[in-house]
Amino acid sequence: MKNAPFAFALLFVSMVSMAQQNTLKQYISSDKNQHRWLNEYTKLLEIPNVFGDSANMVKNAHFLLDVMKRNGIKSQLLLSGKPRSAPVVYGEIIVPGATTTIAFYAHYDGQPVNPKHWAEGLAPFTPVLMSDRHDKGGKIIPFPGDKDPINSQWRLYGRGSADDKAGVYAIITAYEAIVAAGMKPTVNIKFFFEGEEEAGSVYLDEIFKKNKDLLKADLWVICDGPRHISGKKQVVFGVRGDANLDLTVYGAKRPLHSGNYGNWAPNPAMRLAQLLAGMKDKTGAVTIDGFYDDVIPLTETEKQALARIPDVETMLKQDLALAQPDGNGKSMMELLNLPTLNINGMQSGNVGSMASNVIPTEATAVLDLRLVLGNDVDRQINKVINHIKKEGYHVVDHIPADEERLKFPLIARVAKRGTGYNAQRTPMDLPLAQRVIKAVAGTANGEVITVPSLGGSLPLYLFEKYLQSKPITVPIVNYDNNQHAENENVVLQYLWEGIETMAAVMTMK
Amino acid sequence: MKNAPFAFALLFVSMVSMAQQNTLKQYISSDKNQHRWLNEYTKLLEIPNVFGDSANMVKNAHFLLDVMKRNGIKSQLLLSGKPRSAPVVYGEIIVPGATTTIAFYAHYDGQPVNPKHWAEGLAPFTPVLMSDRHDKGGKIIPFPGDKDPINSQWRLYGRGSADDKAGVYAIITAYEAIVAAGMKPTVNIKFFFEGEEEAGSVYLDEIFKKNKDLLKADLWVICDGPRHISGKKQVVFGVRGDANLDLTVYGAKRPLHSGNYGNWAPNPAMRLAQLLAGMKDKTGAVTIDGFYDDVIPLTETEKQALARIPDVETMLKQDLALAQPDGNGKSMMELLNLPTLNINGMQSGNVGSMASNVIPTEATAVLDLRLVLGNDVDRQINKVINHIKKEGYHVVDHIPADEERLKFPLIARVAKRGTGYNAQRTPMDLPLAQRVIKAVAGTANGEVITVPSLGGSLPLYLFEKYLQSKPITVPIVNYDNNQHAENENVVLQYLWEGIETMAAVMTMK
């Protein structure tokens, strides 16, 4: 019994802590706060956030800076100094007595967007509330007045609503909620919101190099990507790398009448089809020489984690109206841990009402290569280029001049988009990561899925390379958010729960 | 010597005729007339002429009707009575004593057009004069004032400038010139200007059926398509048939993040590439079962005519910057007498600045099938459909419902564009055709190329089927006119010579 006073003290601390946790929960679920957040978040989504639109990127950054300053976060913009570069919004909270520093990363830029592809009534930068998913009978509903109830199943539509202004907003708001609940973080917090992630985080290395000391942290928590398809919360230890290529092949240099020249003038669309067709077999496996050769296999721990991830394929096939996925029987999780070759876009001439009876002059495909541990961006791209050469093409990096067209029957232009980056994986047994898992589990009845690697990509190798720190990812949004495509959306419930998740990590034991 | 008075009379007639021919030539080459025609023709090109734009099609028709009436041609509109149908502009000149009736056909509608693809300073319905071809250093020049000289090498840019408002305008103006030169046609003339040719002459059969007697003629002269690539005038005895298909294949019903789903979700662009790639070998020969089976070979006369056509391939390859045409060594003329399968357009997702990291939901290609004598539209389309089925696809004619997507791993939607039509060939030894050849040769120092069949298409089989008459084609425009594509243009010299050619046929011996 000699430990009774200590046990009592512990119990007391624990009761205070539980009371505070309840206050925090109430604060996040409060109607008044949710009205205010919905309003403010909608305003954030109204600011266009596509890389290259510098004026609007700066506007986004200042919007965030204002919100952070209002919440007492010491904040500033970090600049790479490169042209067209969007600022990083940085902030920090130093907690007296805290010995651990956690940096929270999210990005406020979004993928390029074609407004014409959005469903009726929806537009990328005019956020709209819907009662359900637009393709599941959802109807557009007016934004609620101050006294109207908010239904947490509503979806907010707009570019960046899920990927990844949701992450940015949840992180800032989590800190607001902690303070409002009379709590304080158990760790020092660094806030780091990037504006160039969808452009391949082209200048993140510059920022890291310039601010090495400022950005020192024991762990980086990346808030990006969707929660597990089952809806369960997850903690992710790695990402695939990514590289994109523009591939263009050529026919005659003028568009030709398909009657007057048909059978004689080569058709670049057919050439592109034949070139692409040879890159994969009919099960989706890449047939380019050595494509899978340098893949580092998963460890036993990682394989076991994969095996514990709930199977969602049956549900997904139904939801996506897919009779048969690619992969020749391999599980989805296994496939997400292999490199990919996807066609993001393909065009030659016109289709639909613009189509006409021509033989087009060129045909282009945008290729997306996802990389896993062991792959290297340049090595992977060279495998593709070597394949194209093996098919008889003269490969160039520029628009071919007439002399080249007259010399080489087959010309392919291959241009790298951005710089691309390699995959990254953090060991699953890292002690600090275990604490994060516990904190997240505490907000989800103990249930949290741990994933060795996402299928998606983030330039997480940069954290290892320039900051000597490890990243882990704690995603918060719904999986069916159409991120990177038209009709992007977030379910409000996921946004509210995301705030709770981030607050739990900031106050982890 | 008893025939002296007759011989003298003949000589006198011949001298009068030569004098009239000179007057006609002078009238056509007169600066004053060319200024007036250039002005009026530019106004005609300003009226948009894409099928479906009914208000503008009617405007085009009334413009022509006004010009014809001003020239004393008894004119009227012929209507099919079908929705969205554009009127035929019809007119006739009955010549006392004439025993032969020649009907002249041209069309005033143009191919659909994407203004964004036009070169800087050019637009489909804002005609512009250029000093030379836009891609050969041509500069935009102002329209000449009444006193400024007109350079006949100038090009007039605009949709329909070559295909085929040039035909329409040359025919009407030829009659104006004949009358102005104090001559009269040697044949009765019927004028027939269609407004739906580029849409596949969908209602031409209706018009023919309704106006069988009105449209009776001994021969139809079709003024459409380009003169020979060598620049020489030609008379053409046939055309290929044409049919277009929209082919769409599907992936998941929502666009998916290429990282989160890559390797698992099928990529419709890759599926389309693989499907198309299997339709042709690398020399451009179609590998679909039986594709060439029902081709009726050329006759000996036709083969001999083919052999006499000047070889232009070396020049063309240089002009088009093509190292190697398709066809595995076959001559261009031989290839134009075989059926084709071309991709007019192909699209999936976005390329260029709109590209994003998605797996698209569908991929579409517009296929163009040119047909030769022996081919049948439906039979040819069925060969393509059977090929698609053989590749494992479930072929539908509608947008597939979820239940179908869940049932069939591979679904292809095949939709016919318009009705399509078969090829047509007129025997080369037809006596009336021989007179036309002689008349055209008379305007070109005796030189005229005779061609068994163009590579291009017109629904000429309809003249045989509904009017029991034979058509032959006398094209007038420059070959490098970009017809069916952006930057369509006509060289003014070709327009003036076209007027002369049409006048020669109207006054043929």
Q: What is the pLDDT of residue A193?
A: 98
Contact B346 A343 (CB under 8 A): no
Q: Find the residue in B nearest to A372 (Cα).
A: B259
What is the secondary structure of A446-471 as a DSSP string?
Answer: T--EEES--SSB--THHHHHHH---E
Angle between helices A165-180 and A54-70 (to 10 degrees): 10
What value does the mean pLDDT take over residues B181-195? 97
HEC sequence for A17-36? HHHHHHHHHHHHHCHHHHHH
**C-alpha to C-alpha distance for A410 and A394, rounded to whole angstroms:** 6
CB contacts of A326 in chain B (<8 Å) are 263-267
Predicted pLDDT at A20? 83
In angstroms, how far is CA B345 from the centroid of its own chain?
A: 19
Q: What is the 3-state secondary structure (H, E, C) of B80-93?
A: CCCCCCCCEEEEEE
Least confident range from A106-110, B187-191, B211-215, B305-309: namely B305-309
Work out how many CB contacts closer than 8 A connect A with B.
353
Taking an 8 Å cut-off on Cβ atoms, the answer to whether A358 and B344 are in contact is yes
- The pLDDT confidence band at residue B483, using thresholds 50, 70 and 90, is confident
CB contact (8 A) between residue A263 and residue B338: yes
In this prediction the ipTM stands at 0.79
The 3-state DSSP class for residue B279 equals: coil
> Which residues on A lie below 8 Å from B484 (Cβ)?
255, 257-258, 356-358
Who among A332, A358, A484 is closest to B356 (CB)? Answer: A484
Contact A260 B354 (CB under 8 A): no
Tokens of B32: 């004053």
CB contact under 8 A, A114 and B357: no
- Shortest Cα distance from B273 to chain A (angstroms)? 4
Q: Which residue of A has its CA nearest to B116?
A: A354
Task: Show residues of chain B in contact with A199, CB under 8 Å.
Answer: none
The predicted structure's pLDDT at residue B201: 87
Beta bridge partners of B366: B246, B345
The pLDDT tens digits for B223-250 are 998 999 889 999 999 999 999 999 999 9
The whole-angstrom distance between B214's CA and the closest CA on chain A is: 31
Q: What is the pLDDT of residue A2?
A: 52
Q: Predicted confidence band at B3 (pLDDT cuts at 50, 70, 90)?
A: low
**CA nearest to A454 within chain B:** B260
Cβ contact, residue pair A256, B485, below 8 Å: yes
* pLDDT of chain A, 509 residues: tens digit per residue: 456 666 676 676 677 777 888 899 999 999 999 999 999 999 999 999 999 999 999 999 999 999 999 999 999 999 999 999 999 999 999 999 999 999 999 999 999 999 999 999 999 999 999 999 999 999 999 999 999 999 999 999 999 999 999 999 999 999 999 999 999 999 999 999 999 999 888 899 999 999 999 999 999 999 998 999 889 999 999 999 999 999 999 999 999 999 999 999 999 999 999 999 999 999 999 999 999 999 999 999 899 999 999 998 999 999 999 999 999 999 999 999 999 999 999 999 999 998 989 999 999 999 999 999 999 999 999 999 999 999 999 999 999 999 999 999 999 999 999 888 999 999 998 999 999 999 999 999 888 999 999 898 888 999 999 999 999 999 999 999 998 789 999 999 999 999 999 999 999 99
Residue of chain A whose Cα is closest to the Cα of B353:
A112
User: Do A323 and B240 make contact, defined as CB atoms within 8 angstroms?
Assistant: no
Per-residue pLDDT reduced to its tens digit, A70-102: 999 999 999 999 999 999 999 999 999 999 999
* C-alpha distance from A179 to closest chain B C-alpha (Å): 35
Say which DSSP state A338 is in.
Answer: S
Integer CA distances (angstroms), A407 to A270, A362, A394, A402, A410, in order: 20, 17, 10, 9, 9
B113, B276, B457 ranked by CB distance to A270: nearest: B276
Decide if A348 and B349 are in contact by the 8 Å CB cutoff.
no
How far A238 CA sits from the closest chain B CA (Å)?
13
Each residue's pLDDT tens digit, A202-231: 899 999 999 999 999 999 999 998 999 889
Nearest CB neighbour to B405, from listed A258, A322, A335 = A322
Q: Which residue of chain B is at minimal alpha-carbon distance from A415?
A: B352
Q: CA of A404, closest CA in chain B: separation in Å? A: 8
How much is the pLDDT for B4? Answer: 64
* Mean pLDDT, rounded, for B410-426: 94
Please tell me the number of Cα atoms within 13 Å of A326 on its side-chain side.
Answer: 26
Q: Are the Cβ atoms of A272 and B274 closer than 8 angstroms?
A: no
Report CB contact under 8 Å: B111, A357. yes
Mutate to test the interface with B, among A114, A247, A256, A263 (most CBs of B within 10 A): A263
Q: Is the pLDDT of residue B220 over 50?
A: yes
Check CB contact under 8 Å for B323 and A406. yes
The answer to whether the Cβ–Cβ distance between B354 and A455 falls below 8 Å is no
Tokens, residue A234: 């997850």
Closest C-alpha among B122, B88, B313 to residue B203? B88
Using a CB-CB distance cutoff of 8 angstroms, which residues of chain B are in contact with residue A240?
259
Do B456 and A259 make contact, defined as CB atoms within 8 angstroms?
Answer: yes
List CB contacts (< 8 A) between B317 and chain A. Answer: 406
**From edge to edge, which strands make up the β-sheet containing A394-396?**
A394-396, A411-421, A241-250, A362-371, A340-349, B340-349, B362-371, B241-250, B411-421, B394-396
Q: Region B386-396: what's the mean pLDDT?
A: 98
Nearest CB to B264 within list A112, A225, A325: A325
CA-nearest residue to B286 within chain A is A263
Q: What is the pLDDT of residue B1?
A: 47
Residue B430 has pLDDT above 90, yes or no: yes
CB contact under 8 Å between A321 and B267, yes or no, is no
CB contact under 8 A, B344 and A350: yes
How many angstroms away from the CA of A125 is the closest CA of chain B? 16
pTM (predicted TM-score): 0.78
Q: What is the DSSP secondary-structure string of B388-442?
A: HHHTT-EEESSPPPHHHHHH-SSEEEEEEEEEEE--EE--TT-HHHHHHHHHHHH
Q: Flag if A338 and B260 touch (Cβ within 8 Å).
A: no
> Which residue in B244, B353, B356 is closest to A485 by CB distance?
B356
Q: What is the pLDDT of residue B481?
A: 95
Share of chain B above pLDDT 90, in %: 89
Contact state of A350 with B345 under an 8 Å Cβ cutoff: yes
Q: Please check the confidence at residue B203 and state whether its pLDDT lies above 60.
A: yes
